[in-house]
A = this chain, B = another copy of it.
Amino acid sequence: MIPSSSPSDPTESHLREEATSSEVLVDGNFLKARRDTVRLPDGGTSTREYVIHPGAVVVVPLLDDGRVVLERQYRYPVGRVMTEFPAGKLDAGEDPFVCGRRELLEETGYSGREWAYAGLMHLAVAYSTEIIHVYFARGLSLGERQLDVGEFVDVFTATPEELIGWCRDGTVTDAKTLTCTLWLQNVLSGAWTLDWQALGTGDAVG
């Protein structure tokens, strides 16, 4: 039985908010944010301030020996070197799949022969528009990585068991990487299946 408030209920107007006006809150070099005035479900008004994000991609790269490719990168807002799956923001108008192949190559040097789209996550629903698309890659071959100027990233590999242990013991705390690990664990157990696609010859990254 599906309760009336379950995800499949199409009539949720008692929860929805409608914009009545919108203004730029900040237009930084990196950070863009807006402040909207909204009409609440009960007719009241409130304001919503949120970051405008172009969207991003994260890749779970599976090596032939069963290990996964991970990165260590200093994340200034949290003041820590974080363990993460390779990820990056979409360039303006960029297709997420193109972005995933580009970011994997640029940051790690790996190219994948087969790719699968797993799904998407909304990263910070209270204050950001950010959507992250999750891809898996396999049939990996190592070339030269091409880090952007001012980008400092260490690449290493681990077994899925090591990664899952790090999620449990607090070594891995990045939400997108934890979410990818939910996917990885269920794909490896066979509970969740992926629709793998071999790259055609026209799919090479620039």
Interface residue ranges, A against B (CB under 8 Å): 3-9, 12, 14-17, 25-26, 28-31, 33, 35-36, 38, 40-42, 44, 46-51, 72-78, 80-84, 89, 119-132, 149-150, 152-158, 164, 166-168, 170-176, 178-179, 181-182, 185-186, 192
Using A33-B31, A49-B30, A50-B31 as known contacts, say yes or no to A81 and B152 having CB atoms under 8 A apart. no
Q: How many whole Å from A185's CB to the nearest CB in chain B?
A: 7
Pick 12 A–B contacts, CB within 8 A, sort by A: A12-B72, A12-B81, A15-B153, A26-B33, A29-B47, A41-B74, A41-B152, A42-B152, A50-B76, A77-B127, A120-B173, A182-B185
Pick from B41, B76, B131, B185: contact of A17, CB below 8 A: B76
Instruction: Specify how many copies of this chain sit in the oligomer.
Output: 2
Q: Are A129 and B174 in contact (CB under 8 A)?
A: no
Task: Let me know if B72 and A15 touch, CB within 8 A.
Answer: yes
Most chain B C-beta atoms within 10 Å of own C-beta, residue among A120, A122, A131, A152: A122
